[in-house]
Amino acid sequence: MSKLWNAGSETTKLKDLTNQFTVGKDYIYDMEMLPYDIQASKVHAEGLEQIGILDKKELKKLHKGLDEILNLWAKDEFVITIEQEDGHTAIEQYLTEHYGDVGKKIHTGRSRNDQVLVMQRLYTRAKLEIIFHLNKNLVQKFLDFSRNYEMIPMPGYTHTQRAMLMSVGMWGGSLAEMLILHLETLQSAYKIVNKSPMGSAAGFGVGFDLPREDNATKMGFDGCLNVALTSQHSRGRVEATVVSALADLGATLAHFANDLVFFTSSEFDFFEIHRDLCTGSSIMPQKHNVDPAEIMRAKHAEIVGAESSLRMMTANLISGYHRDRQQTKEPLMKSIDNIIGMLEMAEALITHIKPKEKNLRAKCTAELFAADRANELVKNGMSFREAYLEVKENLDQLDTEDLDKNLKSKKHLGATGNLGLEILEKELETKNLE
Amino acid sequence: MSKLWNAGSETTKLKDLTNQFTVGKDYIYDMEMLPYDIQASKVHAEGLEQIGILDKKELKKLHKGLDEILNLWAKDEFVITIEQEDGHTAIEQYLTEHYGDVGKKIHTGRSRNDQVLVMQRLYTRAKLEIIFHLNKNLVQKFLDFSRNYEMIPMPGYTHTQRAMLMSVGMWGGSLAEMLILHLETLQSAYKIVNKSPMGSAAGFGVGFDLPREDNATKMGFDGCLNVALTSQHSRGRVEATVVSALADLGATLAHFANDLVFFTSSEFDFFEIHRDLCTGSSIMPQKHNVDPAEIMRAKHAEIVGAESSLRMMTANLISGYHRDRQQTKEPLMKSIDNIIGMLEMAEALITHIKPKEKNLRAKCTAELFAADRANELVKNGMSFREAYLEVKENLDQLDTEDLDKNLKSKKHLGATGNLGLEILEKELETKNLE
Amino acid sequence: MSKLWNAGSETTKLKDLTNQFTVGKDYIYDMEMLPYDIQASKVHAEGLEQIGILDKKELKKLHKGLDEILNLWAKDEFVITIEQEDGHTAIEQYLTEHYGDVGKKIHTGRSRNDQVLVMQRLYTRAKLEIIFHLNKNLVQKFLDFSRNYEMIPMPGYTHTQRAMLMSVGMWGGSLAEMLILHLETLQSAYKIVNKSPMGSAAGFGVGFDLPREDNATKMGFDGCLNVALTSQHSRGRVEATVVSALADLGATLAHFANDLVFFTSSEFDFFEIHRDLCTGSSIMPQKHNVDPAEIMRAKHAEIVGAESSLRMMTANLISGYHRDRQQTKEPLMKSIDNIIGMLEMAEALITHIKPKEKNLRAKCTAELFAADRANELVKNGMSFREAYLEVKENLDQLDTEDLDKNLKSKKHLGATGNLGLEILEKELETKNLE
Amino acid sequence: MSKLWNAGSETTKLKDLTNQFTVGKDYIYDMEMLPYDIQASKVHAEGLEQIGILDKKELKKLHKGLDEILNLWAKDEFVITIEQEDGHTAIEQYLTEHYGDVGKKIHTGRSRNDQVLVMQRLYTRAKLEIIFHLNKNLVQKFLDFSRNYEMIPMPGYTHTQRAMLMSVGMWGGSLAEMLILHLETLQSAYKIVNKSPMGSAAGFGVGFDLPREDNATKMGFDGCLNVALTSQHSRGRVEATVVSALADLGATLAHFANDLVFFTSSEFDFFEIHRDLCTGSSIMPQKHNVDPAEIMRAKHAEIVGAESSLRMMTANLISGYHRDRQQTKEPLMKSIDNIIGMLEMAEALITHIKPKEKNLRAKCTAELFAADRANELVKNGMSFREAYLEVKENLDQLDTEDLDKNLKSKKHLGATGNLGLEILEKELETKNLE
């Protein structure tokens, strides 16, 4: 008797096909999610005791059983079989086998959908906390980098062509600032995730007086999703919101990676990178490639693909639960894994590159100063458009300026002489979940 | 002399091709954006006066000229030609033609990228305000609908099959609650948009002491994007964040639309819909199709496609502005138009449907009460899993319950007897931009 | 010495991070691809012998070693470790360990990219053959279904509302015809895949006279990708072409699945479905849900997401290999697995559903005949538009017609009385992979 | 009486909203499609005459009227109003107004869906012919370019780092070969488009003996979509197949564009590009940016977004027409316009760039020859892996080789000394639609 609700009928070839096809990798993914299911199940059991479905002794037994499962899991000794289909069944089965009738009571007032919803939100919340923390930490590294090399000149590009003078500090600071913006989106996703769906049952509530608010509080949720049906609607949709936030963040991490690929190439050669972050070639003995940066770009594309899947997967379904929503687990989990890996790698990269100042200065050629030259003429009374044309007609007379003086001379907020890093540092401090 | 910075060279066939290909529909899109460019240009001019680039008389002239353009625009008499490429050039050219040298001064300390960035953020912010307001209003309509039909029974579906009893009130309330969640995401997108990029120039700042904070305050921004280069990084990325928020909202609106398509079909026949929201067929005289709902579904798919475009368009570009980013205007504007249309149509739909109570009650058949029956047995002391099996083995003994009594009997938060609409109403009140 | 080309340097923490991050699941995916790498390596070795790099004895040793690896693999005894990074290294290492110096020769004139390219094309080709075959077989099942129930009436829907009379035969036949169209797209993808990249080395060729055409012929390829660099360009792009073809096919399979979800629901109730293709609910004892059909819809969304990932992953990369392209393996393999599963499930479904003729007839109500009634009037001399208005004004006079007579009376190609199934059968026969 | 089938009822505010929302830009898009609707309508009328619905005089009148509309259209004097909703209504209305009762007969045996299906396929086929032709022509330009600069050395990159020596000829040739591969996909899409849906009516056929095959032949189609319902299924799906083919092609065009952006930058500086293909900056007088190449990249992203929209738009719809499918027109037409623009621009670019041979040679530095050096050692008897390590340990001893000799020395098919351009030329000749 593997699936508890499938009373009696014989396993046929068709049943196997169906089971295999529908279960997919759920039984694997649920291994990662199991602690959150345990956490939720304990609270649900407490709620059942609170409303008199369980007595204190039964509750104790269930808690004991659930703790046992968690311990087995921690030692890699708890197994979810494909026949069990998912962790929820595996848990109920364990409790029933080891604790008898009380195991048959734990599913009172809930459905698997309900369980998945709660477990997945607890999981996602925990991961968002990690991601938020890693990102805050990464911002700090970028700010440190920016401070360390604040006044090292660097050519600024537009259209991949040399445009105006900037600084290594500006480059690092701009990436720090983008990452701070993403903290806002992560926060918002966190708020949306941090509501308890527990008690929605099959999406329509049940006839027991489940203490939904108390349960929510115990799990640290910021209140309940109110209407029972909302919980079902939210499945896949909230996942899409989360993955969108990760895609926003991923875009900046991939941007940084792409910059690194070019800025460490022979053609730009702006930064030295730690050899252990490079990989070799099987045919070309001279190669030191920044593969981690390239993989970061690709992982961003994976997150964007996951977002597409999620958006499409939940489209054009009538109100209520559909099994399609079960498939939202993989794109969510994979995106979370990807972004955590990218954040870790981004930290390794930003803390293991060094500007090659000599090269950077050498690339700060005369053309970078055309706009500055026009602005000089403006300061001497010419209109900007005339100054622009004047410089344009005399481009051969442009000359490299004193780089350090130029950097310092630009003093408005955000210019090279006044990046405003201290403002970013203060902003960073104020960013917290909750 | 159409583009002011293209001094002298003859127009060639190649030039025409290049101009046509790169300009695309910018000159059309900028017509919609023009008032925001004017607003920003006035503030920029004030800033130039503040730091001594312009004198008070010049500032006055520019303000006068900019107001004239706005008036012409309001009367549909201001034209941006394809040769001018965009609104920014058209404005500068107008000022120069009508006010002479002062027109040549307005571009001091800014670039077109800078202008687009500011204009596009002002535009997006204004539209987000409209969207937020429309969505709040729509939530209210759903809450009203839910209250009006709170206790009308309706079959609840899972897997598109009859599952448990719910109510029209639960259906409407769940959609209201989803829409409230989207207010959170819209708020977050708004915050990210509401920062001033003015003064970033080509992305690297300039050698004038531009009063960036003062300018930001004048335009109602909540501070500046600090580091100049951040503004360039943000182009297309912020647009993606906004369109993601719209896709989240679009998903719920399309969900509602899809429900309507089915719930007004002969097979479900749950709601009556106003005839003027239906369209006919050119070949089948009997048809009254809910085309608006179908178009809503399709428009959601358009928004999701726009999101994909935006994510891809800005990927793998090295730091600094690239013309690719100019193409982010269309997916942004189109998504905004789509969502506004969808919000308006959703309001028309929810306020012009009526439950067909008789049909709804007739579809509330015995199978809906299987879980309730099991729960009854639990209340009488059986374990849930045994109760479940007991009911499963005697499905033919299931009977329709008293629908009204059943609805009222479920009393936990979010169940049919206690939807928690008043909580949603309170939450709605607290949701405001800023 | 795990990676053969990483001579000497100590493993550091950073190296581990880099290895883990860049390798990802390659070492797992390559386990599935290994036989194709072996096949290609044998041919490459023969080529090396042909041009004198290896002698006959060395070739024999390599063949023996490669066969050993294949045997071990078949018995699940060949392992690729994460340190080895991929199957290519594992193979070279095995050969070197067991056959000494000759193992160090096999990589002459090739790079890992080259190896991946060949292996992945052999794998993809083999899978496309399976997919093509499964799809052809599935078409036959749909045609059989269509013939079996050719004249059972069924309401035809537009806008999810009853429109005109159709037949179960028409429904099945239309799906068969769509699937035949996809055979064309699969064929085209197959042709594009079926070119040998072997000999492109790092993308620029080498200074050995590699017998590329002979090698291609031995592997059954239809010629070579000519220019060495083309092979590198094609990586990820050809995968996108393949996954697009799968997405086209997936759309029709998901369409069928979605029809089934609705047509087996209580509201439509057109088909009976084998119980073993249904799954139950953990809370509602009465449920028999067609989860496999729902999972099919979701898997289609996964394929579409994979397509997005692939398109984005290879965008904006300069000519030549980049590690990003390595990440194209997963979306390809996952999409292939998904489509094969969907094809198998589609066959199980179409061969295990039966029309509920009584219900179908009962739903063929009067409104379905409005257009037919107008057409009658046309036959009696009225213009169509007048006939249309005449019927529209007298909708209450519409009556159900004799269903069987009506079906038979429509005789143009593709109408219910003349579906043209025999044409489809002939077309199916002509469809073959080269 | 604007929409002919909307007899009588008063226009209300709700009706206006509905009309505006559902019509969208159809009335604009149909202006471009009109000639194809005219062409199809003439054939449909002939078919009606053939089966006796029209007499010869009536047919003549309709042909005359349809020709008049085409003439008016050609002179920009035919207008489709938003009230008419689409071109189909506008045509029927014109015919009825100018030719009386016969105009009311033309819609016999067809629905608007049928009309859209035929018109859209005729339009798409015509555009695919243009695209195919433009692409063939472009291949020739790339082959010419490749021949012209066949032996100019160029550094080959992997991971954006210098890898091995290649040639300008190899670069151009590889792009030519990719474009040839896309001809295969375009051909396949063409075949799928080139089937007649005429006669499917509302998707279920009609009770007239429409001569579907004859009509198909007259319009140059390669047969009919057989089963009537297939035509409805195909709407949006065939569009997705076409847009996928365009996305494949777009990827290579964007790849070329991206190469140009980098290869014309100061850092690479490999090619000189015609000034008239560059645009300036509004703030930096020195700029000559290759904006057309950047726009090409962005347009590729637009096509990919359109593909996503199309895939999602038609997902999870039950069999039969839905208004969602009407929205597939825009992503199709926009993608077609984008790709045609990209093809034209690609031709302008490839014919207006010149290699800077001196720079190219200067960048062919010693590291490019590491693999060649190892291969030399192999030729002298060392195993490749040992040779590899030997070179790796003595990287400082690497020296630049004689570039011309090196290029010529690599003689296997596709290597620099034997690109196989003549094979590509022959292949190109064999590629034709049908």
Q: Which of D283, D290, D347 has the highest number of chain B CBs within 10 A, making it the mutation to test binding with B?
A: D283
Domain residue ranges of chain C, discontinuous segments joined by +: 13-108, 113-362, 366-428
Residue D4 has pLDDT above 80, yes or no: no
| Cβ contact A281–C202 (<8 Å) | yes
- Please answer whether residues D40 and D48 qualify as being in contact, where contact means their C-beta atoms are separated by less than 8 angstroms: no
Write the single-letter amino acid at B288. Answer: H
Residue C82, pLDDT score: 86
| Cβ contact B315–C311 (<8 Å) | no
Residue B4 has pLDDT above 60, yes or no: no
Residue A2 has pLDDT above 50, yes or no: no
Chain A neighbors of D313, CB-CB under 8 A: none
Report, as an integer, the average pLDDT of D249-276. Answer: 97
Write the single-letter amino acid at B123. Answer: Y
**Distance from the D229 Cα atom to the nearest Cα atom in chain B, whole angstroms:** 16
Residue D7 has pLDDT above 70, yes or no: no
Q: Is B278 helix (H, G, I), strand (E, B) or coil?
A: coil
| Residue-wise pLDDT tens digits, C193-207 | 999 999 999 999 999
Reported as a pLDDT band with limits 50, 70 and 90, residue C430 is very high
Residue C1, pLDDT score: 35
**Distance from the B258 Cα atom to the nearest Cα atom in chain D, whole angstroms:** 10
- Residue carrying the six token digits 């022959």: D426
- Residue carrying the six token digits 């990159």: D157
Q: Is A143 helix (H, G, I), strand (E, B) or coil?
A: helix
Residue D296 has pLDDT above 90, yes or no: yes
Spatial distance between the Cα atoms of A222 and C404, rounded to a whole number of angstroms? 61
| Residue-wise pLDDT tens digits, C369-400 | 999 999 999 999 999 999 999 999 999 999 88
Spatial distance between the Cα atoms of C327 and C314, rounded to a whole number of angstroms? 10
Chain B neighbors of C261, CB-CB under 8 A: 159-160
> What Å distances lie between residue C69 and A245, C76, C377, CA to CA?
45, 10, 77
Q: By C-alpha distance, which of B333, B240, C238 is closest to A307?
A: B240
Interface partners of chain C (CB pairs < 8 Å, 3 or more) are A, B, D
Residue C11, pLDDT score: 58
Interface partners of chain D (CB pairs < 8 Å, 3 or more) are A, B, C
Which residues face A158 on adjacent strands?
A: A161
Residue of C nearest to D164 (CA): C204
Both tokens of D346, joined, read 């690609």
| Cβ contact A305–C310 (<8 Å) | yes
Residue A319 has pLDDT above 70, yes or no: yes
How large a percentage of chain B has pLDDT more than 90? 91
Residue A64, pLDDT score: 98
Residue B52's region, left for phi above 0, alpha for psi from -120 to 50, else beta, is left
Residue C192 has pLDDT above 60, yes or no: yes
Q: Which of A160, A365, A378, A388 has the highest number of chain D CBs within 10 A, making it the mutation to test binding with D?
A: A160
| Cβ contact B177–A226 (<8 Å) | yes
- Please answer whether residues B197 and B234 qualify as being in contact, where contact means their C-beta atoms are separated by less than 8 angstroms: yes
Chain C neighbors of B308, CB-CB under 8 A: 308
Chain C neighbors of A276, CB-CB under 8 A: 9, 12, 14-15, 18
Report, as an integer, the average pLDDT of C231-254. Answer: 98
Q: Which of C232, C412, C419 has the highest number of chain D CBs within 10 A, making it the mutation to test binding with D?
A: C412
Residue C7 has pLDDT above 70, yes or no: no
Residue B400, pLDDT score: 85
Buried-exposed string B394-421: b where 16+ CB fall within 10 A, e elsewhere? eeeebeebebeebbeebebbbbbbbbbb
**Diameter of chain D by CA atoms?**
94
Report, as an integer, the average pLDDT of C180-196. Answer: 98
Reported as a pLDDT band with limits 50, 70 and 90, residue D120 is very high
Both tokens of B138, joined, read 């729509």
Spatial distance between the Cα atoms of B129 and B301, rounded to a whole number of angstroms? 23
Chain A neighbors of C116, CB-CB under 8 A: none
Q: Which of B264, B266, B290 has the highest number of chain C CBs within 10 A, making it the mutation to test binding with C?
A: B266
| Cβ contact D286–A365 (<8 Å) | no
Number of B:C CB contacts under 8 A? 108
Residue C273 neighbours by CB distance under 10 Å:
18
| Residue-wise pLDDT tens digits, B77-124 | 999 998 888 999 999 999 999 999 999 999 999 999 999 999 999 999
**Distance from the C320 Cα atom to the nearest Cα atom in chain D, whole angstroms:** 5
| Residue-wise pLDDT tens digits, C264-306 | 999 999 999 999 999 988 888 888 999 999 999 999 999 999 9
**Distance from the D26 Cα atom to the nearest Cα atom in chain C, whole angstroms:** 18
Quote the mean pLDDT of chain D: 95
Q: Which of C111, C274, C282, C289 has the highest number of chain A CBs within 10 A, making it the mutation to test binding with A?
A: C282
Chain D neighbors of C413, CB-CB under 8 A: 199, 212-213, 224, 226
Residue D426 neighbours by CB distance under 10 Å:
10
| Cβ contact D341–B21 (<8 Å) | yes
Sign, CA torsion C391/C392/C397/C400: positive
Interface partners of chain A (CB pairs < 8 Å, 3 or more) are B, C, D
| Closest by Cβ to C171, choosing from D164, D314, D319 | D319
Spatial distance between the Cα atoms of C163 and C171, rounded to a whole number of angstroms? 14
Beta strands in A143-213 (DSSP E): 153-158, 161-167
Buried-exposed string C110-139: b where 16+ CB fall within 10 A, e elsewhere? bbbbbbbbbbbbbbbbebbeebbebbbebb
Q: What ipTM score was computed for the predicted complex, to two decimals?
A: 0.95
| Residue-wise pLDDT tens digits, A166-178 | 999 999 999 999 9
**Distance from the B268 Cα atom to the nearest Cα atom in chain C, whole angstroms:** 6
Reported as a pLDDT band with limits 50, 70 and 90, residue A8 is very low
Backbone angles phi, psi at B290, to 5 degrees: -90, 60
| Residue-wise pLDDT tens digits, C308-349 | 999 999 999 999 999 999 999 999 999 999 999 999 999 999
Residue D297 has pLDDT above 80, yes or no: yes
Backbone angles phi, psi at A153, to 5 degrees: -70, 150
> What Å distances lie between residue D70 and D91, D94, D96, D99, CA to CA?
10, 12, 16, 16
Chain B neighbors of D295, CB-CB under 8 A: 21-22, 24, 323-324, 326-327
In order, the DSSP letters of D375-422 are: HHHHHTT--HHHHHHHHHHTGGG-----HHHHHHH--STTSTT---HH
Chain D neighbors of A391, CB-CB under 8 A: 285-286
Q: By C-alpha distance, which of D16, D8, D64, D73 is closest to D41?
A: D64
| Cβ contact C283–A9 (<8 Å) | no
Residue B6, pLDDT score: 45
| Closest by Cβ to D285, choosing from A159, A291, A391 | A391
Pairing of strands B353-355, B271-273: antiparallel
Residue C405 has pLDDT above 90, yes or no: yes
Both tokens of C72, joined, read 């071990």
Beta strands in B94-231 (DSSP E): 153-158, 161-167
How large a percentage of chain A has pLDDT more than 90? 91
Q: By C-alpha distance, which of B238, B227, B237, B239 is closest to B203?
A: B227
Reported as a pLDDT band with limits 50, 70 and 90, residue A7 is very low
- In the CATH scheme, what is the code of domain C113-362? 1.20.200.10
| Residue-wise pLDDT tens digits, D79-103 | 999 888 899 999 999 999 999 999 9
Both tokens of A163, joined, read 């445009």
Backbone angles phi, psi at D400, to 5 degrees: -65, 135
Residue A11, pLDDT score: 58
Residue of D nearest to B291 (CA): D323
Reported as a pLDDT band with limits 50, 70 and 90, residue C4 is very low
Q: By C-alpha distance, which of B305, B313, B316, B176 is closest to B243?
A: B305
Angle (CA) D70 D72 D76, round 5°:
110
| Cβ contact A200–B414 (<8 Å) | yes
| Cβ contact C266–B365 (<8 Å) | yes
Enumerate chain A positions whose Cβ falls within 8 A of a Cβ in D: 158-164, 261-262, 265-268, 281, 283-291, 294, 308, 311-312, 315-317, 363, 365, 367, 370-371, 374, 388-389, 391-392, 395, 398
Report, as an integer, the average pLDDT of D10-14. Answer: 73
| Residue-wise pLDDT tens digits, B111-161 | 999 999 999 999 999 999 999 999 999 999 999 999 999 999 999 999 999
Chain C neighbors of D203, CB-CB under 8 A: 156, 158, 163-164, 166
Spatial distance between the Cα atoms of D245 and C239, rounded to a whole number of angstroms? 13
Residue C8, pLDDT score: 45
| Residue-wise pLDDT tens digits, D320-353 | 999 999 999 999 999 999 999 999 999 999 999 9
| Residue-wise pLDDT tens digits, D145-180 | 999 999 999 999 999 999 999 999 999 999 999 999
Residue of D nearest to A158 (CA): D289
Residue B11, pLDDT score: 58
pLDDT higher at D234 or A281: D234
Spatial distance between the Cα atoms of B41 and B125, rounded to a whole number of angstroms? 17
Reported as a pLDDT band with limits 50, 70 and 90, residue D434 is confident
Residue D6 has pLDDT above 60, yes or no: no
Residue A85, pLDDT score: 86
First-to-last CA distance in chain B? 45
- Residue carrying the six token digits 């709700």: D14
Spatial distance between the Cα atoms of C4 and C94, rounded to a whole number of angstroms? 11
Reported as a pLDDT band with limits 50, 70 and 90, residue D10 is very low
Number of B:D CB contacts under 8 A? 188
Q: By C-alpha distance, which of C355, B385, B5, C83 is closest to A110?
A: B385
- Residue carrying the six token digits 């979800």: C261
| Closest by Cβ to A304, choosing from C302, C308, C324 | C308
Enumerate chain B positions whose Cβ falls within 8 A of a Cβ in C: 158-164, 261-262, 265-268, 281, 283-291, 294, 308, 311-312, 315-317, 363, 365, 367, 370-371, 373-374, 388-389, 391-392, 395, 398
- Please answer whether residues B128 and B186 qualify as being in contact, where contact means their C-beta atoms are separated by less than 8 angstroms: yes
| Cβ contact C226–D251 (<8 Å) | no
| Cβ contact D281–A158 (<8 Å) | yes
* pTM to 2 decimal places: 0.97
| Residue-wise pLDDT tens digits, A103-156 | 999 999 999 999 999 999 999 999 999 999 999 999 999 999 999 999 999 999
Number of A:B CB contacts under 8 A? 385
CATH class assigned to C13-108: mainly alpha
DSSP one-letter code for A53: S
| Closest by Cβ to D177, choosing from C225, C262, C312 | C225
Buried-exposed string D4-24: b where 16+ CB fall within 10 A, e elsewhere? bbbeeeeeeebbebbbebbbb
Chain C neighbors of D5, CB-CB under 8 A: 385, 388-389, 392
Chain C neighbors of A110, CB-CB under 8 A: 283
Buried-exposed string B62-75: b where 16+ CB fall within 10 A, e elsewhere? bbebbebbbeebee
Spatial distance between the Cα atoms of C288 and C274, rounded to a whole number of angstroms? 10
Residue B247, pLDDT score: 98
